[in-house]
Amino acid sequence: MSERPLILVTRTLMPDAEARLLRSFKARLSADDVPLSTQEIIAAAEGVDGILISPTDRLDADAVTALPPGVRIIACHSVGVDNVNIEAARRRGIVVTNTPDVLSAATTEIALLLMLGAARRASEGERLIRGGNWKYWAINFMVGTEMTGKRLGIIGMGRIGQLVAKRARGFDMTIHYWNRRRLPPELEGGAQFHERIEELLPQADFLSIHCPLTDETRGLLNAERLALLPRGAIVVNTARGPIIDDEALIAALRSGQVAAAGLDVFTDEPRINPAYLTLDNTFLLPHVGSATRETRTAMGIKAIANLEAFFQGDAPPDRVV
């Protein structure tokens, strides 16, 4: 790179990632680390060669089309690229990259935390303590659901789904999964594949969602499918909020069809459905699946490595389009 390209960075990076960025590029950095509107991103992209965006940035077809002509690459600081209209980027000839692999362990930890927290009524218990309302111990006090020995259903058996299955075996859980295609036996690790989600759900005492958000998976877990779960199942989502039909899940939580839900992602976050806040049987986190120093740094480095490869004339290692 003889002339250093100019990169728009919409959110503040981890320190080591930002340092690498500034060694390789000129940068237009976020001044106050608040989410930008689509129009603000378009305006800020004037004169830049590439954009490094976060999952909170939304670039629909109109926005991608409206980006200044100099924008040649969009590097996503995420695995999911559902916030960018891929077809519009393809039509514009804009390369889109993501950051796979490096966040599997951190997201798996959060998935297990959500399973345990939801099943063992962690939010409810902490509120009792903090509110000074824990008055006594009793045999039937704060009774929850045990994970050990239960059946875990996984929707989406990619890198994260496979690691969740591996960790869950430490709880002696039996693994059932649905995926677009069956894994080879060495990756299944004894897990049972189901060709249809409707066949998987009755086998899931715990259900963990790890598929990408697409037109096909939006609203995938609806009222009809929730009804197929064993009564009292635990539902966990660390993928994308819109994969779940919120109203359907809330109704199932109220009826007891779903005993509890652990959620790290939400539709239209951070403005989540307020009904979730009224339910004792929800364990809620603010989209922190990848939020460790190690992982967020690695994600930033990966996004920058994709930019470096592109502007050096090489194929970005994590090119989506």
Give the residue numbers annotated as catalytic, written as ranges. Answer: 240, 269, 287
Label the pairing between strands 192-193 and 206-209.
unpaired
DSSP bridge pairs for 9: 52
CA 130, CA 113: separation in Å to the nearest integer?
20
DSSP label at residue 183: P
DSSP bridge pairs for 236: 208, 262
| Rg of the Cα atoms in the chain | 21
Secondary-structure breakdown of the chain: helix, strand, coil percentages, each rounded to the nearest 5: 35, 15, 45
Those residues whose C-beta lies under 8 Å from the C-beta of residue 67, and which sit 6 or more positions away, are 42, 45, 51, 59, 92, 94
Written as six digits, the tokens of 142 are: 């704060």
Could you list the beta-strand ranges (E) of 18-160. Answer: 26-28, 50-53, 73-76, 95-97, 151-155
- Across the beta sheet with 95-97, the strand order is 26-28, 6-9, 50-53, 73-76, 95-97
DSSP bridge pairs for 59: 84
CA 237, CA 115: separation in Å to the nearest integer?
9
